[in-house]
Amino acid sequence: MANIKLAAEIFRFYHAVKWQRILVSCCFFPLSFLLIPSKAVQAKTWADHTIRPYVSLGTSYDSNLLRSAGSVVGSKGSFITQLGAGFDMDWTLSSQQLLIRAIVNENIFENFSSLDYVGWDTLAQWNWQLGSHASGEIGYSNKHYLSSFGQVNQLIANLVDEEKYFANGGYFFHPNWQVRGGFNRNNWSYDSKDRQISNNSEDTGEIGLQYLSPSRDMAGVRVSLISGSYPNRQAPDLKKDPNGLDNSYMRYKYELVWDWATSVKTRFDGQVGYVEQRYDHNSNFNFTGIVSRANLKWLATEKSNFLLSGWREFSQAANVNTSFILRQGIGLTPTWMPSPKIQLLIPASYEQQSYLGTVPETDNIWLTGLNLLYKPSDNVELGMLMQHEQRHSTVSSRTYKSESVGLNLRVTF
């Protein structure tokens, strides 16, 4: 029934949408293919290029964009059009490598025009190497995007700017043993004044020791220290509000990490450890526990593989009632490649989310999807996706269901 309603909504849209937008879409696709050089030209020039510009066009429909509860009346779905342009640069000089990635995209919402925005995703990274024993990365990235409405469940400009500075390195003091260390700073800043209470910064320092086998399998230990703050929150007055959210914290993580080929067809990677988070003013929200993430990839045949993942992690919640969530889940993604040009993925996952805040809440989220990728040539990518998402919450107003479909094209020059 949901699929029938979704198909009807798509049919209705293409009869009611403005002719201008249809004209733009119809013109853009043919023009993209006219701009594609011949294979002979590609063979002579692209092999030596270090800068590769590209354009992209995507259109999708989400039946419940704001992740509203089923009891909410009125239009909840919207078509979304995204136009993008960017470039990838890969420049190597001797043993040094410089990577630069940049894309700018315009996002247009058919039913929620107040959400229209221009987003971007940029990265500048220097992969440095000193002699044959020391190497690492130094870089900066910045993303501007519309965050999920799963935490806010209402029409609000949920734009976030995500910024990261990072520097790390490793040194082989033995052919099979490496010591590693690094530092990064992450900033999350919301555009809307209503969301800026969730602005957050984290400084992370880590050090580790790892063993690499002759076949490059890896096992090691890692210790991380994270200092976090919410610059737009005041320190809580515990006498007036014993459940007031804190504005700063320290987190300590101790982990075992590995990436190991258990057989020719199977690879197992992940980490398991212990985390302890302590707030500076309100110890009521301190938490400790086991954290882990593991991935098992099995190459069933030359054309198919299976990825099984499990996790138990703490992550940002970004709402007014809590700061962090305990996420426990499992996922399975079968992949089939009938030819080098076609790839089919069928991801499915289940996750339980427990909110560590003033309002007790537990959510159960089911996701199923279908992703089809097609590359008719080296520089053209077509993608189609379908997804069903359902959340059941102990807070009834946060229970929802959503279906989405999408189609996108990317042409690289």
Per the listing, tokens 């937008």 go with 21
- β-strands 287-301, 159-174 pairing: unpaired
Per-residue CA distances from 1 to 62, 132, 151 (Å): 16, 61, 27
Predicted pLDDT at 91: 93
Extract the tokens encoding 23: 């004209």
**From 2.40.160, 3.40.30, 1.10.287, 3.40.50, which CATH number describes the 2-412 domain?**
2.40.160
On whether the CB atoms of residues 403 and 390 are closer than 8 A, the answer is no
On whether the CB atoms of residues 413 and 35 are closer than 8 A, the answer is yes
Phi then psi dihedrals of residue 76, to 5 deg: -120, -15
Query: Tell me, what amino acid is at 53?
Result: P
Q: How far apart are CA 132 and CA 380, in angstroms?
A: 38
Q: What pTM, to 2 d.p., does this model score? A: 0.82
On whether the CB atoms of residues 201 and 187 are closer than 8 A, the answer is yes
**CB burial string 251-264: b at 16+ within 10 A, e below:** bebebebbbeeeee
Output the tens digit of pLDDT for each of the chain's 413 residues. 444 444 444 334 433 433 344 333 334 333 333 334 444 334 333 443 589 999 999 999 999 999 988 766 567 899 999 999 999 999 998 899 999 999 999 999 999 999 999 999 999 999 999 999 999 999 999 999 998 888 777 888 889 999 999 999 999 999 999 999 999 999 999 998 888 888 999 999 999 999 999 999 999 999 999 999 988 888 777 666 666 677 899 999 999 999 999 999 999 999 999 999 998 888 878 889 999 999 999 999 999 999 999 999 998 776 656 678 999 999 999 999 999 999 999 999 999 999 886 678 899 999 999 999 999 999 999 999 999 999 999 988 889 999 999 999 999 99
Predicted pLDDT at 405: 98
Predicted pLDDT at 21: 40
Predicted pLDDT at 240: 67
Predicted pLDDT at 321: 62
Picking from 323, 332, 325, the residue whose alpha carbon sits closest to that of residue 363 is 325
Q: Kindly list the domain boundaries of the chain, sorted by start residue.
A: 2-412
E strands in 302-399: 304-316, 322-339, 342-345, 348-357, 362-377, 380-393
Q: How far apart are CA 290 and CA 273, in angstroms?
A: 6
Extract the tokens encoding 19: 């002719």
